[in-house]
């Protein structure tokens, strides 16, 4: 089955700096890669996703890149703000197979004002 | 914005007791899921449900677990005889069958087995 590894496990950045989180996956058939943000005591909230037919996707301060050959994808947050502090999870799945998501271990991001 | 709602938000139960966690998926969604997250660990898939039957389940989802859609709006997870290691946050999720495959998660039900 799919295995997703995520690094780093914790990330502390100064407000205004960029944050980068990296994930690798094992199943070459995975073709959908969402990123979720989880605030304390809440459920995961989708912040951005990318499909395997695209190499990069941006949404304001957030961008995701995908390298299918190397089987890794990354989340980039620019101009970080204190409200970006949360745990971020990457995930991978085959869209045709019921969308069972396999999650990475999570990255706790702390943005220091 | 439509959302997945879960009840209870927190439940404490004695080991060996039965627990039912309830979810109301987004109204036009047809795929339903349960995931769990043990404190400090990654979110793990338990089961997916479509067309009134389980479509996939993980090795965690053993005979102690069951799911049901008792009416047109609720989706429940039952744990028949809880164990200490069942203590976790349980997330319900749903998605539509239409274009795009975004899975929306509820806020979670925190289960503590004592």
For A90-112, the three-class secondary structure string (H helix, E strand, C coil) is EEEECHHHCCCCEECCCEEEEEE
Assign A82 to helix, strand or coil: helix
Cα torsion through B27, A94, B42, A71, rounded to 10: -140
> Å from B51 to nearest chain A CA?
12
- Mean pLDDT in residue range A80-94: 95
Q: Closest Cα of chain A to B100: distance in Å?
A: 9
Whole-number Å distance between alpha carbons of A13 and A19: 7
**Residue B94 to residue A46: CA distance in whole angstroms:** 13
Contacts of B91 in chain A (CB under 8 A): 43-44
Give the A:B interface size as CB pairs under 8 Å: 53
* pLDDT reported for residue B99: 54
Query: What is the rounded average pLDDT of the residues A55-76?
Result: 96
Taking only the tens place, the pLDDT of each residue in B69-106 is 988 789 999 999 999 999 999 999 998 876 567 889 99
Residue B45, min C-alpha distance to chain A (Å): 7
From chain B, the residues in CB contact with A103 under 8 A are 42-44
């Amino acid at each position: 089955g799919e295995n997703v590894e995520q690094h780093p496990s914790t990330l502390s950045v100064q407000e205004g700096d960029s944050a980068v989180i990296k994930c690798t996956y094992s199943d070459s058939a995975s073709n959908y890669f969402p990123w979720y943000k989880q605030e304390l005591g809440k459920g995961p909230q989708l912040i951005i996703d990318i499909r395997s037919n695209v190499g990069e996707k941006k949404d304001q301060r957030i961008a995701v890149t995908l390298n299918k050959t190397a089987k890794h994808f990354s989340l980039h947050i620019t101009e970080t703000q204190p409200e970006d502090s949360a745990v971020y999870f990457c995930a991978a799945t085959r869209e045709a197979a019921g969308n069972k998501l396999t999650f990475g271990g999570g990255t706790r991001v702390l943005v220091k004002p | 914005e439509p959302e997945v709602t879960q009840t209870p938000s927190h439940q404490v139960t004695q080991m060996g007791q039965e627990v039912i966690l309830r979810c109301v998926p987004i109204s036009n969604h047809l795929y339903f899921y349960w995931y769990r997250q043990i404190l400090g660990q990654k979110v793990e898939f338990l089961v997916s449900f479509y067309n009134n039957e389980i479509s996939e389940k993980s090795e965690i989802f053993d005979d102690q677990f069951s799911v049901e859609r008792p009416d047109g709006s609720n989706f429940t997870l039952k744990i028949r005889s809880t164990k200490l290691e069942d203590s976790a946050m349980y997330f319900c999720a749903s998605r539509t069958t239409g274009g795009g495959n975004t899975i929306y998660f509820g806020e979670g039900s925190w289960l503590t087995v004592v």
